[in-house]
Amino acid sequence: MSIPAEAAAAIVAAGRRMDALGWVPATAGNISVRLGPDRIAITRSGRHKGMLEAGDVMAVDAAGAAIEPGARPSYETLLHCGIYRRFPGAGAVLHGHSVANTVLSRRAGDAIRLAGYELLKVFPGGPTHETAVDLPVLDNDQDIARLQAALDALWDATPEPPPGYLIRGHGVYVWGPGMDAAMARLEALEFMLLCHLEEGRPMR
């Protein structure tokens, strides 16, 4: 299946933006957009996100299986599929590995509370800074299906899940109705996490 040029261009641009900000070192991270009810465009495995080209984007079905015979999608494709399956309004998913989200997730319990930040406005239900978001933190697991099951259980128990979560010592997942919204949420979240990290440093 050919990837619409607009979808491929959005993924390539997102990869370059995330790379410029230091959030996808080496070949880390993955990026996707929803193409339809049962098709997803996602980065191929092992591609450096700052050097993406249109050919580095491939299509998978709703279960994460490659449409193109022999093509290998990102190892964590099932987590993207899980987001699209759970949240009908999700149109793009970003996964990155910043220093802030990696360090904070290693220190955290089940969630990181972000409160009082102006940039909380970028999340649904946050019209002012006078709000708080509990960003879930899940233990890392190389069994992606088991990790997705843990996410499903968490979402089942959460009335209004935030559009993002952390995997301990690994990275962050954020989504939005389109790539622009997903990127705005990622940038806002990374800024707040960096502030959170800096607040934990001893004063000199």
Distance of CA 126 to the CA centre of its chain: 19
Distance CA(92)–CA(89), nearest Å, equals 9
Question: For residue 178, which of 83, 87, 91 has the smallest C-alpha distance?
Answer: 91
Task: Determine if residue 196 is labeled as part of a ligand binding site.
Answer: no
Distance CA(93)–CA(10), nearest Å, equals 11
Beta strands in the chain (DSSP E): 30-36, 39-43, 57-61, 92-96, 111-115, 132-138, 164-167, 171-176
Q: Which amino acid, one-letter code, is at 180?
A: D
Q: Are residues 7 and 36 in contact, defined by beta-carbon separation less than 8 angstroms?
A: no
Task: Determine if residue 129 is labeled as part of a ligand binding site.
Answer: no
Residue ranges of the binding site: 95, 97
Residue ranges of the binding site for Zn(2+): 95, 97
